[in-house]
Each structure stands twice: as structure tokens, then as C-alpha cells.
């Protein structure tokens, strides 16, 4: 029987048993792609990460990211969570993670020996307006979006629907099968709370995740969507709350620098805590 060690971390929270769960298999050299997908189904978390030696000279390690259904070239909470898990033994201030979407640097902040916060520089996404958002809106059970419905692609694709209030976001009860038929992407519904605070929910049935507790890959494009449409100034950090409706409250931070449709830098940050260690054998 082969045995593989893993760490469970809760990401985008500083409290155990909240945030978005992540499994990190710290040495996946003897696992095939088929093994990785089967293990991700077995773990049944939003994502599972497998750590491999880097192939790029300027990366520290390579990570492969799997949902229960598919492999993703990039995802936010697996990247940040992996940085927390690997940052301590590697003794890095900046850890450079090789993903399917390129190298993502994560800057780690410490209090003594403890890593307490991380900031990742995300890939700048491509985007396009969704020409017929009707099926998406119908599956969500909403009449309209307060901003153009735009699809952003940074590895995973995300579609953004603006609602009038955080209460409207909270009350959503989408037709999951309808969403799966309407778009292969994650659907992000958001509303302004107050100040720099925003509330989101994200549904991605075609990724094997009906609702995600915290979506780091969607936080950066949300900041871009808001800045491009004049809802926030470029350079302002926003605070995003997500996951309360599925009892996994999460907090994400995002900043975008640029002007108009020129995006210079996208940064997403948050905390993470290790909650379990184990060994899988098969």
C-alpha cells in the first residue's frame, strides 16, 4: 500500500472550522493524474492540491489543483493555502508557486514564527461581456444585474452579477442544474455592504462545487469589475465576505492597480490555519 501525507487547512479565515477547506498533499511525485483526480473526489473538498518539484527555474515548487470533478490551472484559495502550508518548512518570505497559469508569488507575513497573512499576485485576467446573460439570470432567479454581466478568465472562468443589496445576495436560491446548463463558469453574485466592504456568493456546479465558501480566483476579478465600472478607485483594497450561507464564513482582501481597462497588478490576500494532518493509503 502506498501512503501519502496531507495537511488540511482552512483558508481565508484566521479561525479553525471556518473559511474554505483545502487538502495539500505535500509530496505527490508518485501520483498519476488519474490518482490525483480520484483522491480529490475522495477528499470531496472544493479543491485538493498536489505538490511537485518545480519545472520553472524561478519557482520554489509546482502545484496541481483539482476540484472533485476537474483540474484547474489556477485557483485562489489553493494557492494561498499551499503557501501557508509550505512557507513554514521552506522558511520563505516570498514563496513562488508554479501553477498551470504561470508562477504566482505569495508574500507571507509573520508574527514570530507563525504565518498570519499572505498576499498573492494573481494573473491578470482576460474579460468579455456576456452577450446573452438571460439564462444565467433566470437560473439565479433575478431580473437584472446592476452592472454589465462580464466573464473574466484567469484559468478558471468567472461571471459577475451585481445585485442591489447584501440581503438580495443572501436570499439567493439558484437553480443549480439551470446554472450548469447556462454557463461552464463560476457565477459570482455580489453587492455593496458599506465603505470598502462587499458581499459575494459563488456557484460553480460544473466544477463540482455547488457553492464555494471562499473564492480567491474570483476576488481579484471582482476588484477589477468594480474599478473598471467606477464603483471603487483603483488602488483601494476591498474586503469581501463570503460563505456565511453555508456556515463557512470567510474574509478575502483584493486590490487592483491600473487605469481604465489597463490592469497593472492584481493582489488578493487573506489568512489560513492548519486544522489537521493525515495520511492516505491505497
Give the catalytic positions in this structure: 47
Count Cβ neighbours within 10 Å for each residue of 53-83 and write b for 16 or more, e otherwise.
Answer: ebeeeebbbbbbbbbbeebbebbbbbbbbbb
Among candidate residues 188, 257, 264, 197, the one with its CA nearest the CA of residue 222: 188
Whole-Å CA distances, 72 to 102, 109, 124, 257:
12, 27, 16, 25
On whether the CB atoms of residues 23 and 41 are closer than 8 A, the answer is: no
Cell of 55: 519545472
Q: How far apart are CA 37 and CA 47, in angstroms?
A: 10
Burial environment of residue 111 by CB neighbours within 10 A (0 to 12, 13 to 18, 19 or more): exposed
Q: What stretches of 168-271 adopt beta strand conformation (E)?
A: 186-194, 197-204, 209-212, 238-242, 250-259, 262-270
Neighbouring CB atoms inside 10 A of 22's CB total 32
On whether the CB atoms of residues 161 and 196 are closer than 8 A, the answer is: no
Amino acid at each position: 500500500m502506498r501512503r501519502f501525507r496531507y495537511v488540511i487547512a482552512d483558508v481565508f479565515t484566521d479561525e479553525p472550522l471556518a473559511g474554505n477547506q483545502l487538502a495539500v498533499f505535500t509530496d505527490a511525485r508518485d501520483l498519476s493524474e488519474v490518482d490525483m483526480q480520484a483522491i480529490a473526489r475522495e477528499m470531496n473538498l472544493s479543491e485538493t492540491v498536489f505538490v511537485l518539484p518545480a519545472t520553472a527555474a524561478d519557482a520554489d515548487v509546482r502545484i496541481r489543483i483539482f476540484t472533485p470533478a476537474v483540474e484547474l490551472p489556477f485557483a485562489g484559495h489553493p494557492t494561498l493555502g499551499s503557501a501557508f502550508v509550505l512557507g513554514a518548512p521552506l522558511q520563505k518570505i516570498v514563496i513562488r508557486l508554479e501553477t498551470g497559469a504561470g508562477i504566482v508569488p505569495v508574500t507571507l507575513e509573520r508574527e514570530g514564527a507563525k504565518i498570519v497573512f499572505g498576499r498573492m499576485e494573481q494573473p491578470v485576467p482576460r474579460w468579455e461581456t456576456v452577450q446573452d446573460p438571460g439564462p444565467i439570470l433566470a437560473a439565479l432567479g433575478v431580473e437584472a444585474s446592476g452592472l454589465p454581466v462580464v466573464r473574466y478568465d484567469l484559468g478558471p472562468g468567472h461571471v459577475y452579477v451585481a445585485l442591489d443589496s447584501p440581503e438580495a445576495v443572501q436570499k439567493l436560491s439558484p437553480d443549480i442544474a439551470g446554472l450548469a446548463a447556462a454557463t461552464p463558469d463560476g457565477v459570482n453574485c455580489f453587492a455593496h455592504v458599506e465603505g470598502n466592504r462587499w458581499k459575494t456568493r459563488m456557484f460553480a456546479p460544473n466544477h463540482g462545487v455547488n457553492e464555494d465558501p471562499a473564492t480567491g480566483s474570483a476576488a481579484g476579478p471582482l476588484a477589477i469589475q468594480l474599478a473598471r465600472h467606477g464603483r471603487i478607485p483603483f488602488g483601494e483594497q476591498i474586503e469581501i465576505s463570503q460563505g456565511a450561507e453555508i456556515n463557512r464564513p470567510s474574509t478575502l482582501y483584493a486590490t487592483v492597480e491600473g487605469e481604465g481597462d489597463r490592469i497593472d497588478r492584481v493582489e488578493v490576500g487573506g489568512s489560513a490555519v492548519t486544522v489537521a494532518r493525515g495520511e492516505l493509503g491505497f
